[in-house]
């Protein structure tokens, strides 16, 4: 099983709302990632968790708050977002975060901020 | 610093024709290179990866890529295009940061397959 699941598939939220994106994998992977992808652009890394600890934060605004409650689950908490934050949010996981490891991507959550 | 450049944001081929998607890398250390495909409204799927074991790498769906150090290239090819190959293709390289590895993607190439 090489599946990464993400919920919800679509999300519409206002600028004052608080919402969360959820990502789950049951492959025993210890590294998990959040990417943001704008239309017609490549994915851009936001956060990396390695062994449930935040190891990379790509200077993401504090209105995005990641959380890794356990090795299988990764959340992204959203608060006071801006319309320019509308994008496809992709989650990925890999065995341990090594250089030659494959990152397995979920289908993404398409977020629209009004 | 490691980076990749994809030449051609759009490539159009006829069904049955050769597919060639170009990727050049810039790296101060031996690179590990990946090709991912993204179908509309979906996540990314790994096509193949180069990890220094062999310069010619075979992937899924009939794709392959050849690592050429002298040309700093890792072009993706498929002998005969199918309609189902129409998608966005991303070349990527790994970059070490803060003890972890991250993928740095090229800008992508959109492949159109004409009947």
| pLDDT tens for each residue of A41-92 | 999 999 999 999 999 889 899 999 999 999 999 999 999 999 999 999 999 9
B90 to chain A: which residues are within 8 Å by CB?
42-43
pLDDT beyond 70 at A1: no
pLDDT at B12: 97
Query: Residue B64: beta bridge partners?
Result: B58, B77
Instruction: Give B104 or B100, the one with higher predicted confidence.
Output: B104
Q: What is the largest CA-CA distance in chain B?
A: 47
Q: How does pLDDT run across B52-99, given as a tens digit for each residue?
A: 878 899 999 999 999 999 999 999 999 999 999 999 999 999 888 777
Gyration radius (Cα) of chain B, Å: 14
Cβ atoms of B35 and B76 closer than 8 Å: yes
Q: Output the average pLDDT for chain A.
A: 93
Minimum Cα–Cα distance from A104: chain B residue = B45
Residue of A41, A43, A55 lying closest to B100 (CB–CB): A55
Query: Which pLDDT value is given to residue A60?
Result: 94
Q: So what's the pLDDT on residue B15? A: 97
Nearest one of A53, A61, A47, A29 to A90, comparing CA atoms: A47
CB contact under 8 A, A41 and B108: yes
């Amino acid at each position: 099983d090489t599946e990464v699941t993400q919920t919800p598939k679509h999300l519409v939220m206002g600028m004052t709302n608080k919402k969360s994106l959820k990502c789950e994998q049951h492959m025993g992977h210890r590294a998990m990632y959040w990417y943001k992808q704008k239309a017609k652009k490549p994915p851009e890394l936001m956060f990396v968790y390695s062994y449930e600890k935040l190891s990379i934060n790509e200077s993401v605004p504090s209105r995005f708050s990641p959380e890794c409650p356990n090795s299988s689950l990764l959340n992204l908490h959203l608060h006071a977002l801006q319309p320019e934050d509308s994008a496809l949010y992709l989650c990925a996981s890999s065995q341990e975060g090594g250089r030659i490891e494959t990152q397995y991507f979920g289908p993404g959550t398409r977020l629209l901020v009004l | 610093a490691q980076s990749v450049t994809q030449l051609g944001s759009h490539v159009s081929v006829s069904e049955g024709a050769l597919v060639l998607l170009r990727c050049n890398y810039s790296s101060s250390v031996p690179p590990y290179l990946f090709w991912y495909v993204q179908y509309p409204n979906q996540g990314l799927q790994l096509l193949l990866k180069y990890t220094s074991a062999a310069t010619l790498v075979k992937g899924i769906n009939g794709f392959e890529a050849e690592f050429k150090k002298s040309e700093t290239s890792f072009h993706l090819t498929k002998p005969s295009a199918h309609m189902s190959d129409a998608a966005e293709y991303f070349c990527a390289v790994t970059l070490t940061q803060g003890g972890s590895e991250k993928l740095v993607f090229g800008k992508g190439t959109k492949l159109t397959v004409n009947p």
